[in-house]
Amino acid sequence: MSFFSFGQSADVDVVLNDAETRKKAEHKTEDGKKDKYFLFYDGETVSGKVNVTLKNPGKRLEHQGIKIEFVGQIELYYDRGNHHEFVSLVKDLARPGEITQSQTFDFDFTHVEKPYESYTGQNVKLRYFLRATVIRRLNDISKEVDIVVHTLSTYPELNSSIKMEVGIEDCLHIEFEYNKSKYHLKDVIVGKIYFLLVRIKIKHMEIDIIKRETTGTGPSVYHENDTIAKYEIMDGAPVRGESIPIRLFLAGYDLTPTMRDINKKFSVRYYLNLVLIDDEERRYFKQQEITLWRKGDVLRKSMSHQAAIASQRFEGSAASQSALEQAAREESG
């Protein structure tokens, strides 16, 4: 007999109502591995069942109440004791009393606000989870189930190209141009580099995608730069008047949407870094920020019409037109 549980304990489990049909998404854990979690979007209902299974059937389990919470929180790794909750919802499933047999409790968090994307970084983690708790005098019994949230964007029609110059007086003059400044996570960066003046021997040139994670405020600001991709543009010496095309496919890289000042705790920004190396191993580079955003893989019924219109405006493609027609059929159906 356990002194703390007075001979009786229980297993608590949380099961989502649509677990068999809901899509899962891969998400990085703190140790760098990837696991699959149920995927939700802002405004979607989170509902299911809490199963309380007695370990010793026939013996009663006294409790001070049973509850389930839906929590969105930010954890800064240098301040692990403090969890900053930006969503905290509670449903009471049972009043204080006792359980004499295993029981199941239904829960429903309707149209839950999930304002930020799930994120695990170098110094910060933003997570959403359900926590079911059997409250007891000495030791609570609880179970946490993490979910992943993706934020979908429909970007404005204005998406101007990026044109910049880089040079060293009388030695090097380069113009580079990227087709736009905002890219979805499966987009292609298309651009060109023009060599207007080349009086130094360039032996190598590449474009890097750099992720910059910023956490904290004031004097306690931490910056972490991570090179996500290296794309070799040229191996060898360019000549004046030469232009080199760029096509960089983003789908193969581990990217997140750009995040700016999330709950006043952290930001994640992305930069294109053009790097030139001469034959004396000197490095010349120019950085330019780009905005990354997540485009929905499948248009959900509740937002399909609006998203399809935005997609058609943005891309003006036949594929977008068919998506619009499909969305209209869904709406009328």
Are 53 and 7 in contact, with CB atoms under 8 Å apart? no
Structure pTM? 0.81
Query: Which tops the pLDDT comparison, 333 or 155?
Result: 155
Are 61 and 98 in contact, with CB atoms under 8 Å apart? yes
Pairing of strands 66-76, 61-63: unpaired
Are 294 and 150 in contact, with CB atoms under 8 Å apart? yes
Q: Within a 13 Å sphere around the CA of 271, how many CA atoms are in the beta-carbon half?
A: 15
CA dist., res. 277 & res. 148, Å (int)? 41
pLDDT at 317 > cutoff 50: no
Q: Which CATH fold topology does 162-293 show?
A: Immunoglobulin-like (2.60.40)
Q: Where in the chain is the domain with CATH 2.60.40.640?
A: 10-149, 162-293
CA dist., res. 126 & res. 141, Å (int)? 24
Residue 3's pLDDT is what?
41
Residue 297's pLDDT is what?
58
Q: How confident is the model at residue 135 (pLDDT cuts 50, 70, 90)?
A: very high
pLDDT at 309 > cutoff 90: no
For range 195-199, the mean pLDDT: 81
pLDDT tens profile 77-129: 887 778 899 999 999 999 999 999 999 999 999 999 999 999 999 999 999 99
pLDDT at 327 > cutoff 70: no
CA dist., res. 62 & res. 67, Å (int)? 14
Q: Within a 13 Å sphere around the CA of 278, how many CA atoms are in the beta-carbon half?
A: 12
pLDDT at 6 > cutoff 60: no
Supply the mean pLDDT for the chain: 84
Query: Which tops the pLDDT comparison, 213 or 239?
Result: 213
pLDDT at 233 > cutoff 90: no
Residue 217's pLDDT is what?
77
Q: What is the CATH number of domain 10-149?
A: 2.60.40.640
Please give the share of the chain, as a percent, with pLDDT higher than 90.
54
pLDDT at 27 > cutoff 90: yes
pLDDT at 271 > cutoff 50: yes
